[in-house]
Amino acid sequence: MSFNLTSPITGGAQTGFTSPTYTLATDTAPTNTGKQYAVSAIGGTQTGVDSSSSPSRPFTITLQRPPVLRSLPSLNGATGVLPSVPRNTYKILARKGVTVLAGQAPQVMNLTVTLDIPAGADVVDAPNVRAGLSLLIGALNSISASIGDTCATGVI
């Protein structure tokens, strides 16, 4: 698996943060088809942010590939059409312990990105698979602070 993160990670822009960085430590992924990292330290100005991951307030990122990579089935002999196109689903999950009410136990916030790639496109149309990913990642990076603001205010 080539999902590898290099520590530290430079965080996306967020309102109230200055030059956020996250130092990562290798962690144990929940499955053998994933890699997981835990935040061991933060950098920049991130007032009020926990400085590392803990069992009750996790700060982790997990990168997962499908347990079984699927390929295209044979064409239907009578029609020459694919009976169905299976998908290979990759996931990126970030978990962060958050306080929902002072004095209460922390809750875990789950943030998930799902990449649902039709089998065969990885081989036949890799440039367009990469273009879609490039657009997604670029868009998320360009609106990082806006996403944070929307999650904090409910205004889109």
Residue 76 domain-assigned (yes or no): no
Q: Is residue 112 part of a domain?
A: yes
Question: Does a structural domain hold residue 24?
Answer: yes
Does residue 124 lie within any of the structural domains?
A: yes
Give every strand in the sheet of 107-118, ordered side by side: 9-10, 18-27, 34-45, 59-64, 87-98, 107-118
Residues whose CB falls within 8 Å of the CB of residue 65, separated by 6 or more in sequence, listed in order: 1, 3, 33, 34, 88, 90
Residue 45 falls within a domain, yes or no? yes
- Structural domain that includes position 37: 9-69+88-153
pTM above 0.85, yes or no: yes
pLDDT at 127: 87
Overall number of domains in the chain: 1
Predicted local confidence at residue 44, as pLDDT: 95
What share of the chain in percent tops pLDDT 70?
Answer: 99
Does position 95 have pLDDT exceeding 50, yes or no?
yes
Tell me whether residue 57 is in a domain.
Answer: yes
78 is a domain residue:
no
CA atoms of 152 and 134, how far apart (whole Å): 26
pLDDT (tens digit per residue) in 29-59: 999 999 999 999 999 999 999 988 999 999 9
Residue 53 in domain: yes
